[in-house]
Structure 1
Amino acid sequence: MPALPSSLTEPLWAQFAALLPERVVVHPLGCHRPRIADRIVFDKLVEVLVLGASYGKAGDRTCSATTIRDRRDEWIHAGVFDQLEQICLDAYDQVVGVDLSSVIVDGCIVKAPCGGEVAGKSPVDRGKLGTKRSLLVDSGGIPLGCVIAPANRNDSPLLRPTLEKLARFDQGLGVGLPDQITVHLDAGYDSAKTRDLLHELGCHGVISVKGFPLQAGARWVVERTNSWHNRGFKKLAICTERHGPVIDAFIALANAVIITRRLIRIAWTTHRWDTRPARRP
């Protein structure tokens, strides 16, 4: 059974393949063995991301674990994962529209049993190693950017680099940033430092007040997106990667899947295309 339905993997692979750099063979005799097809490695990476399997378990006679890791690093160095995420965002913005007038930021701590560059003692897991994701979404829960840090980092210092992810819309194909942006935050950001930062960036803040009962407001969509990350992609729920660029690449691929799935779901009732699923995803 495939890790993702073909209605998702086929459009993602078509765009991913178009982004792959042309390979230059410098060996005088070409290569002593045929190169594993990129599509096979892509499918293996999707399996690793969705099922959380190790590279050793994902590898088989068609593609070894070493090939998966080497090709993954090659694509990370070429920036393919980041470009795929940006193109998916631009497509969603053109067809549906990304609502940047209201954005939501929240942190999510997950296990990181193998340690690594962005692992720290988790304050919610008895000091075991964990990683924090500071996630930025629009009013519909579409992931706009993510910053990773050790689990023992506070949310407030991560707010600036997280909001800076909005700069991608000034460089993409979208309509750009609105004049006024409202940032919704939970009580963990209730501080003068946060308000000074929002004032500096020209944003309006809706921040839950400490010491009062839960004030959900418009923040529930970011909790749903965190659930999509953790329930739909086991590699993100239990982060076994040790290097930041690899984690960023898997988050970008997961975001591309989420955005494409939402795009297909919304466009299913308004558009028709040859590979349209038989039922609404």
Structure 2
Amino acid sequence: MWDQFAALLPVRPATDPSHPLGCHRRRIADRIVFDKLLQVLRFGCSYEAVADSTCSATTIRNRRDEWINLGVFAQLKAIALDAYDRIVGLLLDNLAIDGCITKAPGGGEIAGRSPVDRGKQGMKRSLMIEARGIPLGRVLAGANRHDSPLLEPTLDRLDDLGQLPDGITVHLDAGYDSAATRDLLAGRGLTGEIARKGVKAPVQATKRWHVERTNAWHNAFNRLQRCYERKESVIHAYLDLADAIITARSLIRQAWTLYRWDTRPTRRP
């Protein structure tokens, strides 16, 4: 993951060439900051908690914002998704979309009153995945937003995937059971498999369980489960990094079954 991330970074001098004496303090290595960001993503701790003599919290934030402005996190996710598509293949004929509410104690640009947490600040992710659970795109909103209005901007993420197969089926839960949703899907040439309100349907009996599992994968990264970030761009960056990790992890597991190579592990990773 780091090798690919480093290939996307621009070349930077070790010291500031504009310093009049040419002896400015050396730049903190990008690898150190990348490892710190992974710790923040996985454990959900503060920047001050992971800062030490090798890197300060201010440097972590500044380097994070620099990489966000360069679009490195989004590029890393796109590369991981393209590699998965080439080696394993994305199953785009069956998609699933669902919302997931998480905590946002610090509020922020996309936080709202959570209806499932006594009105505390929360965030909703409207996530779209393919048939095996690989994340394709998401829309962020306040926790007080209903899933149904977020369906259209979530489906807009399909435009980033290029050529799509014919006869795509979108699997949705009962929260999307409305005439407006069916009209939206029909207008895009999509088929909707929507659970009916008032009719019990175990998630295991449908193809929606993959999106529930992917939401659980995301929530395993504690920075996403309890998000203290206030800027939407930073939250998207952490989600892109998490998506790249989830996609690469799934790629390794699928490739172990589909391919053989000299250094292939004897057990499935």
Paired residue for 1:241? 229
Which residue of 151, 158, 173 maps to 1:166?
A: 158
| Counterpart contact for 1:119–1:151, Cα < 8 Å | yes
Shift of residue 157, structure 1, vs aligned partner: 1.2
Which residue of 106, 115, 119 maps to 1:114?
A: 106
Paired residue for 1:7? none
Identity, in percent, stands at 61
Which residue of 7, 18, 23 maps to 1:27?
A: 18
How do 1:36-55 and structure 2 match up within 5 A? Answer: 36-55=28-47
Paired residue for 2:255? 267
Alpha-carbon spacing, 1:180–1:55, altered in 2? closer, same or farther (3 Å): same
Q: Distance in 2 between matches of 1:190 and 1:31?
A: 65
User: Unpaired runs of 5+ in structure 1?
Assistant: 1-11, 171-175
The answer to whether 1:186 aligns with 2:178 is no
Which residue of 169, 177, 192 maps to 1:205?
A: 192
1:34 aligns to what SS in structure 2? coil
Q: Distance in 2 between matches of 1:26 and 1:79?
A: 25
Shift of residue 277, structure 1, vs aligned partner: 5.3
| Counterpart contact for 1:84–1:253, Cα < 8 Å | yes
1:15-36 Cα distance to aligned partner (Å, 9 max, x none): 1011112337662545610000
| Counterpart contact for 1:195–1:205, Cα < 8 Å | yes
Q: Distance in 2 between matches of 1:94 and 1:144?
A: 15
1:80-139 Cα distance to aligned partner (Å, 9 max, x none): 000000000000000000000010000000000010001100011111110000010001
1:169-202 Cα distance to aligned partner (Å, 9 max, x none): 11xxxxx211221100000011111111111111
Alpha-carbon spacing, 1:203–1:278, altered in 2? closer, same or farther (3 Å): same
| Counterpart contact for 1:21–1:78, Cα < 8 Å | no
The TM-score with structure 2 as length reference comes to 0.94
Given residue 10 of structure 2, which amino acid in structure 1 is its aligned partner? Answer: P
1:224-269 Cα distance to aligned partner (Å, 9 max, x none): 00111112x0001101100000000000000000000010111123
Shift of residue 278, structure 1, vs aligned partner: 6.3
Alpha-carbon spacing, 1:37–1:190, altered in 2? closer, same or farther (3 Å): same
Count of aligned positions:
263
Given residue 195 of structure 1, which amino acid in structure 2 is its aligned partner? Answer: R
User: Unpaired runs of 5+ in structure 2?
Assistant: none
Q: Distance in 2 between matches of 1:248 and 1:272?
A: 35
Which residue of 222, 227, 243 maps to 2:216?
A: 227
